[in-house]
Amino acid sequence: MNPIIELLQAHRSIRKFQDREIPRPLLETLIRAGQCAATSNHIQAYTVIRVTDRDNRARMAELAGGQQHIVEAAEFLVFCADLKRPTEAAERAGAKVIRGMTEQLLVATIDTALMAQNVAVAAESVGLGLCYVGGIRNHPEAVADLLKLPEHVYPVFGMSLGYPAQNPEVKPRLPLAAILKDDHYDDSDAPARVAEFDETMHRYYLERTGGNKDSNWSRELKPLFTTKLRPHMRDFLVSRGFEMK
């Protein structure tokens, strides 16, 4: 163990924040740390939008399903996959650019996620808390319009960021044996491992809610796989120039 590993293992989502600003130099330092993440072929296919307008924050919270911490956090950042900047740079260098490839979409999305996670770790290392907000993809067209995103740029997720006003427990993760395999994929022990984790999560939910939530990991997954989640995303991505050929 070392301080970095301990920090990573102590991650929690924070949804209540102090009324305290993050100094601009610190915010810029966090974003620079994000830029130091691995990036496919040095493309750096991301742009971060800092939402400071209070009306836009309120609208963003509404679009994300009423997540009030978006309004209350010191900062709300939207991490966007951005293929506009690198493809146009390549064109100016004389390339005959091919757009709309599925691999390009994957590269830009992965680049964005890696960059954001660096920001998250850097933020937690200086005492800040955060919450990722995938809910902005509930209404991606409205979010894109609000942020004036051009073609070939799409919002991947948001991040509420600030000084924590709560101290939640660390949420348990699956047993290591469930996800770490040697040489090949083997899920023969999956039912037993999942059953073990369901018991862990059952206790966690009961303790966290004072006995008001009687659930487990498998039960919480049910709505994610019994409904078509955000079926609008494919058409939205195509409309933004990510044809996914």
Residue-wise pLDDT tens digits, 5-53: 999 999 999 999 999 999 999 999 999 999 999 999 999 999 999 999 9
Structure tokens at 193: 């491992």
Structure tokens at 95: 């390339």
pLDDT digit string, tens, across residues 166-220: 999 999 999 999 999 999 999 999 999 999 999 999 999 999 889 999 999 999 9
Q: Assign 2 a pLDDT band (cuts: 50, 70, 90).
A: very high
Spatial distance between the Cα atoms of 104 and 97, rounded to a whole number of angstroms: 12
Q: Which residues pair with 80 in a beta bridge?
A: 47, 155
Question: Do residues 79 and 157 lie in contact, with contact meaning Cβ atoms separated by under 8 Å?
Answer: yes
Residue with tokens 């067209």: 141
Q: Assign 107 a pLDDT band (cuts: 50, 70, 90).
A: very high
| Residue 244: pLDDT over 90 | no
Of the candidates 70, 36, 73, the residue with the CA atom closest to the CA atom of residue 56: 70
Q: Which residues pair with 82 in a beta bridge?
A: 153
109-124: average pLDDT: 98
pTM of the complete model beyond 0.85: yes
Q: Assign 1 a pLDDT band (cuts: 50, 70, 90).
A: confident
Percentage of residues of the chain with pLDDT beyond 90: 95
Residue with tokens 């900047």: 85
Buried/exposed code over 21-49 (b: 16+ C-beta within 10 A; e: otherwise)? ebeeeebeebbebbeebebeeebbbbbbb
138-155: average pLDDT: 97
